[in-house]
Amino acid sequence: MSDPSPHPTSQATHDPREVTQDVDWDNYRDHLATAEKDGRRRWIYPKKPMGRWYRRRTYVSWALLAIMFVGPFVRIHGNPLLMFNIVERKFSILGQLFWPEDTIIFAVAMLVFLTGIITFTTAFGRLWCGWTCPQTLLMELVFRKIEYLLEGTALQQRARNTGPWTADKFLRKAAKHGVFLALSFIIGNTLLSYIIGSDQLIRIITDDPRNHVVGLTFMILFTLLFYSIFARFREQACTFICPYGRFQSAMLDENSMVVAYDHKRGEARAPLHRGETTEDRQAAGKGDCISCHQCVAVCPTGIDIRNGLQMECVHCTACIDACDEVMDKIHRPRGLIRYASLNAIEKGDRLRFTPRMGIYSGVLAVLITVFLVLAFTRSEVETMLLRAPGALFQQTPQGTIKNLYTLKVINKTSHDIPLELRLEGGQGTLSVMGGKLVVPKEDLAKTSVLIEMDPAQLQGPSTPLRVGVYTGDKLIETVKTVFIGPRTQPITP
């Protein structure tokens, strides 16, 4: 009988502490920039950036944040600029109301959004992340600035966090986290106003909190969520949660614009010695990079851009400003780190419009056209006329045939609409139960409709009908339905 013991190699065990021996800590691809060798998180203390790109991002952030916080209170034709009321299934985009019946428009809008991301990323890389992403704008240009203001520079923050607790440290920490919580509460309420509308939000805020315990509970949870993101989670939201950095590699190519290090000009890296001239460095085979590590010091995700494009890079341009400042000091041209494509670095090519970009742009243009046509040609009302469930046709003593229908009308506008239903072709008579039909603004009206026809006008057991929906003399919509009659010609009394 063979030895029942397993193969010796299968008995080998590994101490988890020995795993780090297989990691090349000099190779950035072997480990995360925010992880220590023992697996603990390495807290990032980015140096405050300064420079032309940082100023430009600050101006852009002011504009975008103003739009974000003012947006819910802007009205176009009486409707919010943007609102996504999932509870009431009512959506407002640029003042235009959309309902669940506009599913096709939402589907096309989603395709426009996804195709736009692909096209934009193919041409400009992760420009969205660094310049317009709400997470980046709020973290780097709001919360981070508050942290610099209350806790000092990156070096002061590091020293304070590793030092003992003092009254000064406690007061600074308390002030910072108090401001962070207040801002998180404001952000949570702002985002809520995009869901339920600013009017409803103001009504809830001014009402007795005891009447909105559930809503207040959720708002507290949202506040804590945003607080934890900006106070603790930070760059890990971009690294671990956001999928954009992971699938960008499928969209970038050699002509995509990225934040890039010019290795042809910068290598070989070497410190700058006192009295060393540019000619001396070139003769010794040294590049313009003096290994000052300022590009790493200002990076909010802790990476070294000189290693090439990495998933963690959000194109915040902080490394560009830091490197340009150093180049100015050593009297070398700016642009060692700059916006460029791989072909621009390797071959000196300019950013160009490639066939791939052309195909994506063409698809995007078609989708945008379809979306605009659907959005601007849709009817102001959505009418559904269905036969009443379980109701059969009725024959009157006069010999006519009656069918009962259920009418549902959605008013997509911001004003009440009086409606009148007419049988197109004059085949019979149509009566709306309850008298005059007026559909309230942004609401759904339900009623019953009775259609009566002479048996001689029937085309068998099923007769197609067209019902016109009018407001005044204006035809808004035409609805098709079916009139049910007997299988055989009824006997006239």
Tokens 């659907």: give the residue.
374
Is the pLDDT confidence value at 224 over 50?
yes
Q: Is 7 inside a domain boundary?
A: no
Q: Mean pLDDT over all residues of the chain?
A: 85
pLDDT of residue 20: 46
Q: What is the residue-wise DSSP string for 21-70?
A: GG--TT-GGGS-TTB-TTS-B----PPPP-SHHHHHHHHHHHHHHHHHHH
Number of independent structural domains in the chain: 2
Q: What's the pLDDT tens digit per position in 425-479?
A: 767 889 998 878 899 887 888 999 999 998 888 888 888 899 999 988 888 888 9
Q: Is 403 exposed, middle or buried, given 0-12, 13-18 or 19+ CB atoms closer than 10 A?
A: buried
- The verdict on 413 and 345 lying in the same domain is no
Separation of alpha carbons 452 and 249, rounded Å: 65
> Residues 336-350: what's their mean pLDDT?
90
- The verdict on 291 and 408 lying in the same domain is no
CA nearest to 304, candidates 27, 39, 102: 27
Is the pLDDT confidence value at 16 over 60?
no
Q: How confident is the model at residue 140 (pLDDT cuts 50, 70, 90)?
A: very high
Q: Is 169 inside a domain boundary?
A: yes
* Distance linking the first and last C-alpha atoms of the chain: 101
SS3 452: strand
Is the pLDDT confidence value at 491 over 70?
no
pLDDT of residue 455: 87
- The verdict on 364 and 469 lying in the same domain is no
The tally of CA atoms less than 13 A away on the side-chain side of residue 403 is 27
Distances (CA, A) of 474 to 247, 353, 433, 469: 51, 48, 22, 8
**CATH no. for residue 412?**
2.60.40.10
> Residues 49-58: what's their mean pLDDT?
95
The tally of CA atoms less than 13 A away on the side-chain side of residue 488 is 2
Last residue of a domain, one of 378, 405, 423: 378
Question: Global pTM?
Answer: 0.76
Is the pLDDT confidence value at 48 over 90?
yes
Is the pLDDT confidence value at 22 over 70?
no
Separation of alpha carbons 83 and 95, rounded Å: 9
Is the pLDDT confidence value at 19 over 50?
no
Beta bridge partners of 464: 482
Last residue of a domain, one of 346, 378, 410: 378
Is the pLDDT confidence value at 11 over 50?
no
Radius of gyration of the chain (CA): 33
pLDDT of residue 15: 47
> Residues 186-215: what's their mean pLDDT?
85
Higher-confidence residue of 146 and 192: namely: 146
Separation of alpha carbons 169 and 264, rounded Å: 46
Last residue of a domain, one of 322, 348, 378: 378
pLDDT of residue 139: 95
- The verdict on 272 and 389 lying in the same domain is no
Q: Which of 290-294, 381-385, 402-406, 413-417 has the lowest mean pLDDT?
A: 413-417
Separation of alpha carbons 10 and 458, rounded Å: 83
Which domain covers residue 412, as residue numbers? 381-484
Q: What's the pLDDT tens digit per position in 103-118?
A: 788 889 889 988 988 8
Phi first, then psi, for residue 337 (nearest 5°) are: -115, 125
Q: Is 332 inside a domain boundary?
A: yes
pLDDT of residue 337: 96
Q: Is 97 inside a domain boundary?
A: yes
Q: Is 28 inside a domain boundary?
A: no
pLDDT of residue 227: 96
Q: Which of 51-65, 106-120, 405-419: highest mean pLDDT?
A: 51-65
Tokens of 141: 């240009």
Q: What's the pLDDT tens digit per position in 67-77?
A: 999 888 888 87
Q: What's the pLDDT tens digit per position in 245-276?
A: 777 777 888 888 899 999 999 999 999 998 88
Tokens 């003092």: give the residue.
166
Residue 313 CA, distance from chain mean position: 19
Q: What's the pLDDT tens digit per position in 275-309?
A: 888 888 989 999 999 999 999 999 999 999 999 88
Higher-confidence residue of 179 and 194: namely: 179
